[in-house]
Structure 1
Amino acid sequence: MRRIVPVLALGAGLSLALSGCFVNPLESITENLVEEGVEELIEGQTGVDIDVNGSGISLPDSWPSELPVPSEGTLQYSASIGETFSAQYEVSGRGTFDDLVSKLEAAGFENTGEIEYGGLTSTALETERWQVSIVYIDGEDSTPAALQYSIVDKDAP
């Protein structure tokens, strides 16, 4: 339950912040204020380090530097909750997913499970310290392909 509430708050905040496209400059200013407010609200209430503004996004400072990141793609959001990390990228295709899985396996991660269903592919990998989940979703029509990368430090309290 302790981790569910921050995740739900994170999901609600992301849904609010990423729910529209704004062209009008006045709306753009409003959007930036809302995004900053959502970020501050989530961070203040949950301790989640989050960036949802869609530009200038970077991985949290606490992101484990010893783990590889996707070789290509545009970071759409990133978050950390304690020693749990998550990032979503817009990618050009499945190759980015395959490359990241290969890099993790080369770094000693054991592939503990795979699921493929339609345009969705998910792989779980782990070492003694880390659990990693990578999900790839094919793009359709005007929707770009996406890669979700989640990391849990098993040594964390």
Structure 2
Amino acid sequence: MISPPRFLRRSLAIVVALAMIPALSGCFANPIEGLVEQATGGQIDLGGTEIPEDFPTEVPLVSGDVQFAIAVGDTQNRGYNVTILAGAESPLEGIETELAEAGFDIQLQGSGAGGEGTVIFTSAEWAGGVIVANTADGYTANYTVAPAAN
């Protein structure tokens, strides 16, 4: 397996770390946002419950309610993390199908019990992963998307 370039690893690490912000945002929203903006040089969009405006349209998203969305980085190295509450039925199989139909290569698809699992996908432009989990509110799909290595 080819190791991704350092900027991609760093961008993905920041995006994944920032995905934990919702758990802390109830008590610490302002300090955390300030720290994140300092760490990223202000190149962050805490979209809240809106898909970032520049999210790549070629990456299909499951239907549902956006629970959390962020974008990190500059224009050429921008990464995204979006969590969508998809409903009572697992969207895993449909997500994999939609990504393949959109022209993405599925690098890995792992299914667990009860419709949970992971899909890792790539194209010439984008690389990412989707984690589907069954929560008390229904199934969530968490997308992490970053520019593919050139």
State the shift of 1:9 in Å: 5.6
Find the partner of 2:125 among 126, 129, 135: 129
Q: Rg larger in 1 or in 2? A: 1
2:29 corresponds to which of 30, 35, 43: 35
The CA RMSD measured in Å over matched residues stands at 2.7
Q: Among 134, 142, 146, which residue is 1:148 paired with? A: 142
2:45 maps to what in 1?
Answer: 49
Render the CA deviation track for 1:90-134: whole Å, top value 9, x for unaligned: 121445333232121111111111122334310111112211211
My pick for the range that moved more, 58-67 or 36-45, is 36-45
Per the normalisation by structure 1, the TM-score is 0.69
Q: Which runs of 4+ in 1 moved over 6 A?
A: none
- Give 1:4 shift: 7.2
TM-score, length basis structure 2: 0.71
The CA distance in 1 between the partners of 2:128 and 2:82, in whole Å, is: 12
Which structure has the highest strand share of the two?
Answer: 2
SS at match of 2:91: helix
Unaligned stretches of 5+ residues in structure 1: 19-30
Aligned 8 A contact 1:43 1:49 in 2: no
Identity %: 18
Which residue of structure 2 aligns with residue 103 of structure 1?
98
Q: 2:72 aligns with which of 68, 78, 81?
A: 81
Deviation at 1:63, TM superposition (A): 0.9
Task: Please give the alpha-carbon distance, in whole angstroms, between the structure 2 residues aligned to 1:114 and 1:76.
Answer: 24
If asked which structure has higher relative contact order (CA below 8 Å, sep 6+), I would say: 2
For structure 2, the 5+ residue unaligned runs are: 1-8
Per-residue CA shift, 1:132-151, capped at 9, x if unaligned? 21111123xx3432111111
